[in-house]
Structures are given as structure tokens and as C-alpha cells.
Chain A
């Protein structure tokens, strides 16, 4: 036990141990779904930011023209609303759930009851906030 220079995974592979199933057997719950969504929305927002940033290296100076080109396509209001809601939801959800994460880091709301209560609240507030922002 003293010779811990070996990685956990390497050691168990060396001993030929199979791994227990996890994602395939565990019942989906609010906790895991919200955590997954937090990561997924984070990655989505990150993707947008990265594409914008790296794209900006090539297209800077032309934003207004490009926007005018999109404007001239006269897209339907319904489509525009859907696009805005799709863009707003990741930001709203990640922001509100981010507050929940920071509360946990301060040691608050860590009982199962509170985790579920704050979890449902985060969902409700995110949806309402998304609807508000998309309507602007």
C-alpha cells in the first residue's frame, strides 16, 4: 500500500478487474440531470464564445454588414424567437445553477431536501428568465 506510484486505473487494469456498470444502469435523477445540464450548457456557451473569438480574428470589422445581410433575409418572427430562446437558455440555466454551485461551495443547501428544492427552483427560474430574455 505504501508504493502508490501507480494510477488507480492502471493498477486495476493490471489486476484484470472488470469495471462495474454506471451510466447504463443508474436511474436518472434530478441531481444527475441538472449536473449534466450544467456541464452541457457550459460547453455550449464555451463553444459559442470560442467560435466567436476565433472567428473574430478573421471577420473583425464586418459585423454590421453581416448582420444587415441576415436582416435582409426577413426570417420569420417565430424562427427568430426560437433562435433567441435556444441561445438564451444555456446562459440563463448555467448562470442560475452557477449560483446554486457557489452556494454549495459555501456549505449551504447540502441536504438532499435542499438539493431538490433548489434544483427545481433553478429549473423554474431559468425557464422564466429565458422566456423573458427571448421576448426582448
Chain B
């Protein structure tokens, strides 16, 4: 699949290689990885940063290494199937998940050392979010269409959402109308 992307790129416009213009059309022979033919072909499908007229010299497949954001797009095109490319990427979600996990490292001890109703609410929110993403990952890993068909995975995922919402509501209700999470645990521990 990746090869098709490579082939596709050959017909697109190419940026002039500075090496080429310096040597007036002759390709420099160089032992570095950058001048390796395969490496050059990999970036053949970048769009140029400015419009250019094509001369016969410019048709030689010699392009400069791409900038980081172009490399990311290329890597994404190579690593994702056509179906996956239709969906947006989840990098921001991943970062959010890790941020919540890291914050829990601080919030859990702090809620016990400096208890307050605010800390209880904060604890409830972060725990439910963290738990939701975790259980969602488990369900997506194991309740797969190839085993369960097309309907059950969707129901399972909907159930995860419903349970998380209900859990958050219940915990908020408990914090507001009862002794609170941290106080309850401390009282239970005194048994």
C-alpha cells in the first residue's frame, strides 16, 4: 500500500534540489543517506511550497529533505489505511489521557492529606474520566466485531458511556448529600 503512495507522488510537482541547481543539472554523487535514491523517492510526493515551472532538469527526482510537519503528513499517509485516514487523529486525546493520569498521581494523596469538598469533587471527576478511558480501552480491545458481530460492540461501548455518566452523577450525589468520598474511606478504615 505504501508503494502506491510512492508511485502516486512521481506525477506531482517536485521542488528543485539545491544541489541540482548548484551543479547545473548534474546530480552530485554522495555517500550520505540523503542522496540514496530510495530516500529521494520517498519524498517525491510532497507538494512544493511555491508554484514552479517545470524544466527538463527539474524532472530529475532530486528533492531536499522535508520539513518536520511534511514528514509527519507523509508518515501518516504511509502508516494509515485509506479507511483510517478518513477519521481524525487522536493525538490530542492521548495527551489528555496522560495529563489526567499524571494529575491523579498528585490528586489522590492530596485529597487525603488536605481533605475538602472541593478535593472530593476533583477526585471524582478525574477518577471517573481515567476509569472511563481505561474501561473503554478494555472494551474496544476485547469486544471486537470479528468475535461478537456488528451490534454487540456498539452496545458495549454505549454501556461504558452510560455507566461512566451514572457513576459521576452518583459520586457527586454522594459528596453533596452524604459524608464525602475521602471521609467515607477514612471512617471505613477506622473499623
Question: Is A45's CB within 8 Å of the partner chain B?
Answer: yes
Q: A13 to B179: give the CA distance in the assembly, Å.
A: 54
| Contact status B135-A43, CB under 8 Å | yes
Determine which of A7, A42, A60, A63 lies in contact with B146 in the assembled complex, contact meaning CB atoms within 8 Å: A7
Q: Is the interface of B mostly helix, strand, loop or mixed?
A: helix
Interface residues of B in 122-139 (CB under 8 A from A): 127-128, 131, 134-135, 138
Inter-chain contacts of B177 with A (CB < 8 A): 60-61
Q: Mark A8-21, 1 if CB is under 8 A from B, else 0.
A: 01100100000000
A1-B1, A7-B145, A9-B144 given; A56·B171 CB < 8 A: yes
Q: Are A60 and B178 in touch, CB under 8 angstroms? A: yes
CB pair B184–A4 under 8 Å, yes or no, is no
Contact B166 A54 (CB under 8 A): yes
In contact, B4 and A2 (Cβ under 8 angstroms)? yes
How distant is the Cα of A102 from the Cα of B145 in the complex, in angstroms?
30
Closest to B180 in A: A63
Give B1-55 interface residues, CB cut-off 8 Å to A.
1, 3-4
Asked if A2 meets B163 with Cβ closer than 8 Å, knowing A9-B146, A64-B179, A102-B102, the reply is no
Number of chain A residues whose Cβ lies closer than 8 Å to a Cβ of chain B = 40
Query: Within the complex, what minimum Cβ distance (angstroms) separates B181 from chain A?
Result: 8
| Residue of B with least CB distance to A88 | B189
Knowing A4-B81, A49-B131, A102-B98, say if A63 contacts B170 (CB, 8 Å): no
B residues 146-191 near A (Cβ < 8 Å) are 146, 163, 166-171, 173-174, 176-179, 184, 187-189, 191
- Determine whether the beta carbon of A52 is less than 8 Å from that of B98: no
**Nearest 9 A-B pairs (CB), nearest first?**
A53-B167, A9-B146, A4-B81, A53-B170, A56-B174, A56-B170, A1-B1, A57-B170, A60-B177
